[in-house]
Structure 1
Amino acid sequence: MSVIELNETDVPAIAVRGDYAIVAITKHGTALARGLHKQFSNMDLYYMGKFAQGDEAASGIQLFNGSVRLLLPALFQSYKGLIILISLGAVVRMIAPILQDKKTDPAVVVIDDKGEHVISVLSGHLGGANELTREVAAAIGARPVITTASDVQRTIPVDLFGRRFGWEWESASADKLTPVSASVVNEERVAIVQESGERDWWMYDSPLPPNLQLCGSIAEALDAKPQAALVVTHRLLAPEEEAILANGVLYRPKVIVLGMGCNRGTSAEEIEAVIRETLAELGFSMRSVRALCTIELKKDEQGLVAVANKFGWEFVWYAPDRLNAVAVEEPSDTVYRYTGAYAVSEPAAKLYTGTGKLALTKKKSGNCTISVGIMPFE
């Protein structure tokens, strides 16, 4: 088994197999780390060569000699999170020079040498350290230590609101995350406006805190004059509505479903242009698109596949018989002759959304036909 020799000049050669790295430098820490490594298949284990037990090669464990401080920068760049069995103070000193940004830094969790406490140290929300802390603590029977205010107070974590559903905040709202979070945890009046998206976002079994006010519309929220706001919508806001974002965060839920048909060989550029133009006409945000749907005949249509991949949309196709089972406004014998279905875009969007009502039934534009539906989360 080769051992990583750490020094000040060379970048350590590590073998990344999992999403998380466990690091130990003491005898007791190594024993705890080995037990943890056996419980999680997506974690790589690193500990000092002097604690080698002979099974490291077979177990995929990596040994090192030298200061662990020299190993951490490589791990920081390579893993989603680090679980470190070293004293908290030492970890803080070692990672301080390599911190970049909370949006990119990995999660860092510290475990004490007796395995009594698992502490969320860095990237608690965005990096997932708080969740990782709970999982690791449960695995070794330790106490999770989480100090993030929203977790302690059992309220909404603004930077993670709706994240488990794929919601994204608008980039223009990024600089509002901190002040709006402060309003939430300081129990100031915060309006929540939700026009679309999943409704089961409240994660606790206790009632919503009284400082969080649910409003039926942005106009209602503006009338309430809150000190901060959370707005969840697929719509582009009208100028008179944008005042709500003076101290507010705008979230884009994944609710827009695009049904599309196109001529063979239609370019990705034309398909994307039609989508952008259509959504702009409807006043909808591209960031709220969830899926691009078509007929099975088009499952390998390069333009459609390229656009779906570019934006990370789900790409779905349906067999003609499934499309024909859906009622459509204008069935076409011509489309049937070429595809075996009387329509493509309209029934595809209806099948995915599970509703017979679309925001846009059908529009022909160049080589494309497009329909737009909204997921009816209740």
Structure 2
Amino acid sequence: MPEVTATGDYAIVAITKHGTQLARRIHAVFPGSDLYYMKKFEQGDESGQGITLFEGSVRLLLPELFAKYKGLILIISLGAVVRMIAPILKDKKTDPGVVVVDDKGEHVISVLSGHIGGANELAREVAALIGAYPVVTTASDVQKTIPVDLFGRRFGWVWESDEKLTPVSAAVVNEEKVAVVQESGEKNWWMYDTPMPDTIHVFSSIQKALAEKPAAALVVTHRQLEKEEEIILTNGVLFRPKVLVLGIGCNRGTAAEEIEQVIEETLSELKVSMKSVKAIATIDLKKDEAGLLEVVRKYRWEFVYFRPEELNQKEISQPSETVYKFTGAYGVSEPAAMLCSGNDELLLTKKKSGNVTISVGLISY
């Protein structure tokens, strides 16, 4: 088997003469794809096209493709694919999306990891490119209702725990009474052009939802739940929207560990979740601050910085002549949090702890 060097996110694989022609056609119009087919169908231009040839059973190639690609487009019969991938399946949260295309290019079937792995969307995309019919069997897609494991994913929402994903998903597709409690985050999460099913009810608070005794719940909030509120998670999934902005000022050379500790302590005091942090905001003088850069890299947060004149446009609680003397701004953490969150009412105006000053803003939608 050839060495697999993934240059794109998707691998296209063919093992027949007609499948090879179709695979070449898909490869030509599908960005970020790598193409693999059998050496006996070599056409002479493979090296120039970045196409990989292989000999022997494709079964031996699949484990490495599974490990290195986000999605696989297999022009192989469905039954053969099912038998070949069965021994290498691990978890729906890590397995790549797999779609199967028939030799004539008439159907594109979502086979594995339809939601989290993106196979449903991949099937639709490939079908659109070649004029085929996408075959998607996931219940939430067919019924045009909430796909719980993808809820808010396009906005960056993450779940607190996946323990109840399956029973909550079952409640949704079985048309049981489901509560969506949204305290923060983007409001345009309904994905379809059809009305929301009348079995799904949206509430602004957990207390209102509990009063209606739903069979399941999806809760969207940056808050840490109070003990009496946690009952809604008996059959519920807690989602964390990216709505918190941390305005931070610090002395030059402040260690990442100190910055991280101040962030953790502050958010704990405010009873909000680290998973809901979207960005760190500061002054442009700190754009190369090693400790800040290390923290944003670790948590994959956005890093936003403003010029002093931008920060000075905001009215802040305690303007500092000393800070102005060294930075040109009358404050850093407070106005940075306001500007980045788009909200002048902060969850935390300003707190100084050691070498770090922190303010916390909430993005409102």
Normalization by structure 2: what TM-score?
Answer: 0.99
CA distance in 1 between counterparts of 2:304 and 2:203 reads 35
1:228 alignment partner in structure 2: 216
Q: String of CA shifts for 1:17-76, please: whole Å, max 9, x gaps.
A: 111000001111111000000002300000011111110000000111111111111111
Post-superposition shift, 1:350? 0.7
**Correspondence 1:167-186 to 2 at 5 A:** 167-171=157-161, 174-186=162-174
SS in 2 for 1:290: strand
Post-superposition shift, 1:303? 1.1
SS in 1 for 2:110: strand
The structure 2 residue matched to 1:129, chosen from 107, 119, 128, is: 119
2:103 alignment partner in structure 1: 113
**Correspondence 1:131-150 to 2 at 5 A:** 131-150=121-140
The structure 2 residue matched to 1:187, chosen from 158, 167, 175, is: 175
SS in 1 for 2:357: strand
1:9 alignment partner in structure 2: none
**Correspondence 1:1-378 to 2 at 5 A:** 6=1, 12-171=2-161, 174-377=162-365
Aligned amino acid, residue 323 of structure 1: L
Post-superposition shift, 1:264? 1.1
Aligned amino acid, residue 293 of structure 1: A
Aligned amino acid, residue 359 of structure 1: L
RMSD of Structure 2 on Structure 1 (CA) = 0.7
Aligned amino acid, residue 52 of structure 2: Q
CA distance in 1 between counterparts of 2:196 and 2:298 reads 38
Structure 2: stretches of 5+ with no match in the other structure: none
Normalization by structure 1: what TM-score?
Answer: 0.96
Post-superposition shift, 1:137? 0.2
Q: String of CA shifts for 1:283-339, please: whole Å, max 9, x gaps.
A: 100000000000111111111111111111101111111111111121110110111
CA distance in 1 between counterparts of 2:216 and 2:351 reads 39
CA distance in 1 between counterparts of 2:246 and 2:128 reads 42
SS in 1 for 2:163: helix
How many equivalent pairs are there?
365
Structure 1 runs (4+) deviating above 2 angstroms are none
CA distance in 2 between counterparts of 1:303 and 1:16 reads 33
Taking every aligned residue pair, what percent have the same amino acid on both sides?
70
Aligned amino acid, residue 214 of structure 1: V
Structure 1: stretches of 5+ with no match in the other structure: 1-5, 7-11
Post-superposition shift, 1:215? 1.2
Aligned amino acid, residue 38 of structure 1: A
CA distance in 2 between counterparts of 1:109 and 1:204 reads 23
CA distance in 2 between counterparts of 1:181 and 1:58 reads 47
CA distance in 2 between counterparts of 1:15 and 1:303 reads 34
CA distance in 1 between counterparts of 2:341 and 2:45 reads 52
SS in 1 for 2:186: coil
CA distance in 2 between counterparts of 1:86 and 1:37 reads 16
CA distance in 1 between counterparts of 2:313 and 2:243 reads 23
Q: String of CA shifts for 1:168-214, please: whole Å, max 9, x gaps.
A: 0003xx11000000000000000000000000000111111111011
CA distance in 2 between counterparts of 1:359 and 1:205 reads 36
CA distance in 2 between counterparts of 1:328 and 1:178 reads 47
